[in-house]
Structure 1
Amino acid sequence: MQTTTDGQSSDTNSDPFRSSRSHTNQGDDTQREHSIGGATTSGRSNQQDQTKIKSMREDAVTASPALNTKPECRYGTKCRQQSDQTHCERFQHPAKTASPGATATADASNMKEECRYGSNCRYLSDPTHCDRFQHPTKTSLLGSTAHPSDQLSNKNLDTSSSSHSHTIHDDDMQKAYSIGGAIALERLSQQDQTTIKTMRDDAVIVVPGTYDHIDRVLAKLNIKFTVVEQHELINYPFRTYQTVYINCASKFPKEAAYRLREFVEKGLHIITTDWALRNVLQVAFSDFVKHNGQSTRDEVVGIEVVDPNHSFVSGFVLAAKHAQPQWWLETASHPIEIVNKEQVKVLIRSQALYDKYQSDAVIVTFDCGRGNVTHMISHFYLQRSETPNARHKMPAQQYAQDIKASDNITKLISKDGQNLNYAQIQSSSTSAQFIYNLVSNRLNSTKQSTS
């Protein structure tokens, strides 16, 4: 089994315009056009665009270059697929005119998309990122004023506003998850903590994706897991005591989705995020849930617990007593449409999500045969948080006081979290709590059976 992803069987959900993905996650996808890591804004094309492109492809246009009858690519010179031969055979792009004396290197550089973070980009040392995005040269920076794209102020992507202070630094969220994980672990009983420490190596299976990174969170929480690639799922020897965590990805083998359904009915549990709604659940569990056809923006929404007595969300009520937790949504995340309203339970909802996209479900769960499926519209790895009110702007220590955390947590925040705010710790600790709850409940219910 490999620990990095390979190209998989494609599905209709692949989208080359989830632009913020291009900042990290080297080699996650065969298209290798976008990834996640520390990026914060995105530009997935909408569903209408995808339908239009799909329709053009299905019409089998075989235009002669001489007649110039190929349809024009709607993204023109800014198209990120100009290096894709199949795409260029179907769509026409404006010809590039080289400036006098321009070198081949300069031409190649001009074909790159300009990095919207400019000289402030954190990935200037990442060769994969720099192969795809153009940055200002050191010479051009001398005496030049800051370009608007260097700032996190693109109004079209709603990445800043006067009432919301973004906390988007990846290193901050890494620290937040370390502290949030410690807070969440304290909420577990000693028995649950021991169960997690002694769990099987293969009790948790992680299927790598393109955009979410549950493996990062599990590592921070010291939860053991085994990595199984998408294509390996088709023949993987599942055990019914296992839980499979499926990261958000641009595509997923349909055969693997159908096989997961088969084993869920026998007792397997699966946890999915974001685009897995369309690539996995809508394929093999369409009698329960599906994508409602809309797409979110890159945004942070307040969440609230629907069923406080459900074991999966234990601890959330206390966490939200003084301020509503804020969870991040990736651009073009898929809102959930519940097909089977009798069997599908909404565990966490968001009023803001409903107001914008006519679906309030953030986390849903349902039994299928002897197994269970849990899906969340967001990612396990929350890249950032926001501070919509005064309490969210308070230091992390205030959150520790609000939930009556132990002295050990207070000392940990004093040592490692002095620069973190309330919202960051609240977001990371509730995300970590959800994962701990999932794992401990599953381990206790199966008693590590080898059935």
Structure 2
Amino acid sequence: MGDFKKMEQAYKASSKLLEKRMAKERPIDLDILRKVKESSIIIVAGAYDKIELVLELIKVPYILIQPHEVSHIDLRSDQILIINCPGNVYEDSLLKIKEFVKKGGFLFTTDWALLNILEKIFPRYLKYNQRHTADDCVRVEVLDKSNKFLEGLFNEDADPIWWLESSSYPIQILDKTRVKVLIVSKEMQEKYGESPIVITFDYGDGTILHMTSHYYLQRAELRTKRHKMSAKEYAIKEVGLSADEAEMEELKGLSLGEAESAYSTTQFISNVIVEQQKKVKKRKEEKEEK
């Protein structure tokens, strides 16, 4: 089975692992995820990334638009705007996106959108370092383990590997007081000059989240004995399922490394959606109290 087919299977398995784990550990958050309305999430289609495929697997509704349509739609401050790589929107959309964030919207971008979106809107915050990556995998480390976006991604003893798409754009942080780095890679820094993998910062009342490479991973790298263990062992030992709960057809033939790569990205996007929904609810309640 090729890498892409394996990862496709891994994502199907991860969606089931996610639901079982959240039902046990975070039932309230799972309920929030289940109640997301289609209009809450706007995804801008990309030629190279397909975040919408992950949302389909975890049964979260969304509206998919083409890059040129950003200029014509109304964006609300309670929405999440996800822009897939490469992020080639019209120039007149950039100010609109900036105002959307300023008023409280959540912007999530991947890879080349660093240059095509973020660097243009927030030139003093971050930029592409002009040293694109190879098709590669690097070991990563979570810097801020208390951040809610990262809840449940990796266990303490995990040694996660992050896939870099060929020609991914490393993130150079310009404003280190405003931009917060969530996940780093020393290996990334050694090879390509910058260590940040996932970053976030606030602007106005809104939030920006950006990650290097593509969200929908197409392969995983199995470096260690742990990575080569079975996905079922991962489900039991690290996700916390019982042996019976881990008896899933989707896990058969998968390695721990493949399951972990898919699960971490599935959990990540779920966390982002849940946290934004909570923020919107809190903002609404505060407004009603005034």
Q: Is the pair's TM-score, using the shorter chain for normalization, greater than 0.5?
A: yes
Aligned to 1:91: none
User: Deviation string for 1:402-430 (max 9, x for gaps)?
Assistant: 21522354112xx2221100100010111
Answer yes or no: is the 8 Å Cα contact 2:231–2:251 preserved in 1: yes
Alpha-carbon distance change, 432 to 256 in structure 1, aligned in 2, over 3 angstroms = same
- Confirm whether residue 218 of structure 1 aligns to residue 55 of structure 2: yes
Alignment partner of 1:410 is 2:265? no
2:17 maps to what in 1? 183
- Give the superposition deviation at 1:258: 2.0
- Say yes or no: does 1:400 pair with 2:235: yes
Q: Aligned with 1:333: secondary structure?
A: coil
Is 1:342 the counterpart of 2:180 in the alignment?
Answer: no
Give 2:52's aligned amino acid: D
Corresponding residue number in structure 1 for 2:4: 170
Counterpart for residue 365 of structure 1 = 200
Which string of whole-angstrom CA distances, capped at 9 and with x for unpartnered residues, describes residues 157-204 of structure 1?
Answer: xxxxxxxxxx84322211111211222332361111111111111111
Between the aligned partners of 1:337 and 1:218, the Cα distance in structure 2 is: 29
The counterpart of 2:132, out of the listed 295, 301, 305, is 295
Aligned to 1:354: 189
* TM-score (normalizing by structure 1): 0.60
> Whose Rg is larger?
1
Aligned length: 281
CA distance in 2 between counterparts of 1:200 and 1:359 reads 37
Name stretches of at least 5 consecutive residues in structure 1 with no aligned partner: 1-166
Paired amino acid for 1:261: K
Amino acid at match of 2:6: D
Query: Which residue identity lines up with residue 45 of structure 2 in the other structure?
Result: P
TM-score (norm 2): 0.92
> 1:183–1:405: 8 Å Cα contact kept in structure 2?
no
Contact 2:171 2:196 in 1 (8 A): yes
Q: Do 1:168 and 1:385's aligned partners in 2 also have CA atoms closer than 8 Å? A: no
- Alignment pair present for 1:269 and 2:106: yes
Q: Does the aligned pair in 2 maintain the 1:323–1:392 contact within 8 Å? A: no
User: How far off its partner does 1:242 sit?
Assistant: 0.1
After superposition, the Cα gap between the structure-2 partners of 1:168 and 1:261, relative to the gap in structure 1 and judged at 3 Å, is farther
3-state SS in 1 of match to 2:93: helix
Task: Give distance in 2, aligned partners of 1:219 and 1:404.
Answer: 21
Runs of 4 or more above 6 Å deviation: none
Question: Contact 1:242/1:268 (CA < 8 Å) preserved in 2?
Answer: yes
**C-alpha distance in 1 between matches for 2:2 and 2:219:** 5
Helix, strand or coil: the match of 2:198? strand
Q: Do 2:50 and 2:216's aligned partners in 1 also have CA atoms closer than 8 Å?
A: yes
Q: Would the alpha carbon gap of residues 409 and 427 (structure 1) be closer, same or farther in structure 2, given more than 3 Å must change? A: farther
Change (3 A) 1:361 1:204: same
Percent sequence identity over matched residues? 32
Q: Deviations over 1:108-134 (max 9, x none)?
A: xxxxxxxxxxxxxxxxxxxxxxxxxxx
Residue 247 (structure 1) aligns with: 84
Unaligned runs of 5+ in 2: none
Name which of structure 1's ranges 439-448 and 264-273 shifts more when overlaid on structure 2: 439-448
1:434 aligns with 2:268: yes
Cα separation, 1, equivalents of 2:68 and 2:162 = 31
2:112/2:169 contact within 8 Å kept: yes
Structure 1 residue 235 displacement after superposition? 2.4
Q: Whole-Å Cα distance in 1 between the matches of residues 61 and 245 of structure 2?
A: 23
Match of 1:382 in 2: 217
Following superposition, the deviation at residue 388 of structure 1 comes to: 0.8
Corresponding residue number in structure 2 for 1:421: 255
**C-alpha distance 404-202 of structure 1, shift in aligned 2 (>3 A):** closer
Letter in 2 for 1:356: K
Does the aligned pair in 1 maintain the 2:3–2:220 contact within 8 Å? no
Q: Which residue identity does 1:226 align to in structure 2?
A: I
- What does residue 29 of structure 2 align with? 192
Instruction: Write the distance in 2 (CA, Å) between the matches of 1:345 and 1:168.
Output: 36
Cα distance in 1 for partners of 2:239, 2:220 equals 22
CA drift of 1:399 comes to 1.1
295 and 189 in structure 1: CA distance in 2 versus 1, 3 angstrom threshold? same
Would the aligned equivalents of 1:266 and 1:371 in 2 still touch at CA under 8 Å?
yes
Two-structure CA RMSD over aligned residues (Å): 1.8
Q: Is the 8 A contact 2:7 2:258 kept in 1?
A: yes
The amino acid that maps onto 1:430 is S
1:314-367: per-residue Cα shift (whole Å, max 9, x none)?
Answer: 11342xx34311121111100001111001000011111011112110000000
Are 1:329 and 1:377, in contact at CA under 8 Å, matched by a contact in 2? yes
Task: Tell which has more relative contact order, 1 or 2 (C-alpha 8 A, sep 6+).
Answer: 2
Query: How far does the alpha carbon of each residue in 1:193-240 deviate from its partner, in whole angstroms, 9 at most, with x for none?
Result: 111111111111100011000011111111110112211111211110
Higher strand fraction (1 or 2): 2
**Partner SS state of residue 385, structure 1:** coil
